Amino acid sequence: MAELDLGAVRAFVAITEDRSFSEAAVGLGISQQAISKRIARLESGLGLTLLFRSRNGAALTEDGRAFLPHARALVGLADQAVEALRGRRRALRIDVLDTRLATSVDLVRAFHQATENADVEIITSNGLRSARDALARGSIDAAFARVGGPLEEHLRHVPAYLEPVHLLVGRDHPLAGRREVEIERLAGSTVWMPGNVPGSEWADYYRLLGAAFDIPIDDSGPDFGWEYFVEEIASAGRAGFVGGTCRMPWNPRVVQLPVVRPAPVYPCSLLFHRQNHHAMLAGLVSSVRAGFRPYDPGRQWLPEPDRAAFSRN
C-alpha cells in the first residue's frame, strides 16, 4: 500500500483549487519546482496520473477526480488535528519535590505572577529518580532537583538556586543559644536525617557534606514526615539538617541555626526535555536563569561534582 505524503496531497488539493501549479506554489509558500516534485512523488507512489498539464493550467484526470474528495478529507482532518492541539491549553507541569521547599515554589510563583495568562500545575514526587522518566514521557514539563552527575542526552538543566543548610536542634541542645553555628563545631557530632532515602540525590549530597567535615549522618528511620521529625528533634536531643527556607512545622521547643564558615548550600537545578515545546517552558527557564546567584567559594561550600555548574561563568 502506498504511503501518502501529506505535503504532496496538500499540494494536489491546492492545484485543483487554483488550476495552476505556479499559483498553488505561491499559496503554499514554496517554489514551482518544489510543488512539481511533490505531485510527481504522489503520482509515482500511487502509480497513477492525477493531473493533466496544459497551457491553460492543470486539469484533473479521471483518477484525479476520484482521488480529490479523499484528498480534501485528508487535508481537512490534518488541519483539524493541528488546530485541536493548538487550541488545547495545558498547564505547565512542574515538579518541586515537596511544597515545603519554599525556594522552588517561590520561583514558580514569581514566574506565574509575571506571566500573563500563565497556567501552572505543581506536582510532587521523589526527586531526580522519578523526574528523569517523567520528563521523557512528557508527564511533567520541568523539575527542580539536584544534578550531581551526567544526565541522559535528551535532558537539559540550568542552575536554579543554592539553598543554605541550617541546623535544627531542641531548646536544651548545647548549641541552641547561638545565633549561628560554625560547621567545624559539628565535627564528630551525629546529625539525624531519616528522610535521606538511599539512592536519592539529597542523601548523596549529605553523605559528601558529612565526609568533608567529619559529620556522621544517621539516616535511620522510619521517616514519618516533617511533624514527626521536628518533634523528635525537640524531645530526643537530636540535631538535624534542613533547608534554610524550608517551611518547617512550628514547634516552640526547636531552634533553627544557619550553618556558616563556610556555609553549605544545596544545589538545585531546573531540568527539562530538550524537545519539549510547551509555550511557557522557555519563559520559565529564562525566569529561573535571571534570578540565579552563583556559588561563592569564599563563603559557601558545595560538593566538587556541583561546583562547575553553579559557579560564575
Cα separation, 155 vs 132, whole angstroms: 8
What pTM, to 2 d.p., does this model score?
A: 0.74
Q: In terms of C-beta density within 10 A (0-12 exposed, 13-18 middle, 19 or more buried), how is residue 178 classed? A: middle
Which domains are assigned to the chain? 6-86 (1.10.10.10), 92-161+266-298 (3.40.190.10), 164-264 (3.40.190.10)
Enumerate the β-bridge partners of residue 164: 265
What pLDDT score does 2 carry?
64
Give pLDDT tens digits along the chain (313 positions): 568 899 999 999 999 888 888 888 888 889 989 999 999 999 999 999 999 887 777 889 999 999 999 999 998 898 888 776 665 578 999 999 899 989 999 999 999 999 988 899 999 988 998 999 999 999 999 999 999 888 899 999 999 999 999 999 999 999 999 999 999 999 999 999 999 999 999 999 999 999 999 999 999 988 999 999 999 999 988 999 999 999 999 999 999 999 999 999 999 999 999 999 898 999 999 999 999 999 999 999 999 999 999 997 5
Cα separation, 308 vs 306, whole angstroms: 6
Enumerate the β-bridge partners of residue 94: 122, 142
Give the sign of the dihedral formed by CA 11, CA 16, CA 21, CA 23.
negative
CB neighbours of residue 195 within 10 Å:
19
What pLDDT score does 86 carry?
63
**Under 8 Å between Cβ of 141 and 94:** yes
Residue type, 285: V
Q: Residue 17 corresponds to which cell in the numbers above?
A: 483549487
Q: Residue 237 corresponds to which cell in the numbers above?
A: 536531643
What pLDDT score does 9 carry?
93
Cα separation, 114 vs 111, whole angstroms: 5
What pLDDT score does 49 carry?
93
